[in-house]
Amino acid sequence: MKYQLPKLSYSFDALEPNIDAQTMEIHYGKHHQTYLDNLNTVLEKYPQLANEKLPTLLANYPDIDMDEKDKVFFKNNAGGYLNHNLYWEIMGPKKEINQSLASEIAAKYGSVDQFKELFTQMAISHFGSGWAWLVKDQSGILIIYSLPNQDSPYSKGHEPIIGLDLWEHAYYLKYQNRRAEYIKNWWNVLRLLNY
């Protein structure tokens, strides 16, 4: 089974001025496409994995029957593919508030605003490329953390809820080295929560 890019539910310019159209086009059409192409290439070598879901494979990563070099390649590209799938899905030009999630966040962190502050600070302080995450662990508990590169919460057995891409390709054309400004403006296009 070959994986495909998810269809965006909005145009490349729909997130302006927070995320510019050129960044969207390159990020989605080049970077995400490359993770997808690499993922499909490595999986073609292992047809026995064709019926396994990617989150399951990442959760059981140490036991995957692959050549060690291919395992690392798979982990990076499967993570990149899944991470970006969620990133596009949770963003949009209009808010579509998930009240259940907002209530869970308020119960755990005191308020959605307090969650936003904690998440923002963790994202700003993440060194280098990677992702900021809100996940549910195996017990359904909400946790905020960051991971390097294209590591996926699925590799920890966690379900990703909100993911913020901290790679420079996500913001550099518009924001250059101003990651904090990108993060601040990204909240405007996260459609799940209101603040």
pLDDT at 50: 83
Residue 167 placed within a domain: yes
Q: What domain count does the chain have?
A: 1
User: What CATH number has the domain bearing residue 193?
Assistant: 3.55.40.20
Extract the tokens encoding 40: 């499909």
Residue 56 placed within a domain: yes
Residue 105 placed within a domain: yes
- The SS3 assignment for 88 reads helix
Structural domain harbouring 52:
20-195
45 phi and psi angles, rounded to 5 deg: -75, -15
131-149 pLDDT tens trace:
999 999 999 999 999 999 9
Arithmetic mean of pLDDT, 79-96:
97
Is the entire prediction scored with pTM above 0.85? Answer: yes
26 class by beta-carbon count within 10 Å (0-12 exposed, 13-18 middle, 19+ buried): middle
Residue 13 placed within a domain: no
The whole-angstrom separation of Cα 141 and Cα 48 is 33
pLDDT at 51: 86
- In 75-114, which positions are buried (b, 16+ CB within 10 angstroms) versus exposed (e)? bbbbbbbbbbbbbbebbbeeeeebeebbebbeeebeebee
Confidence of residue 1 (pLDDT cuts 50, 70, 90): low
Residue 57 placed within a domain: yes
Residue 37 placed within a domain: yes
Residue 9 placed within a domain: no
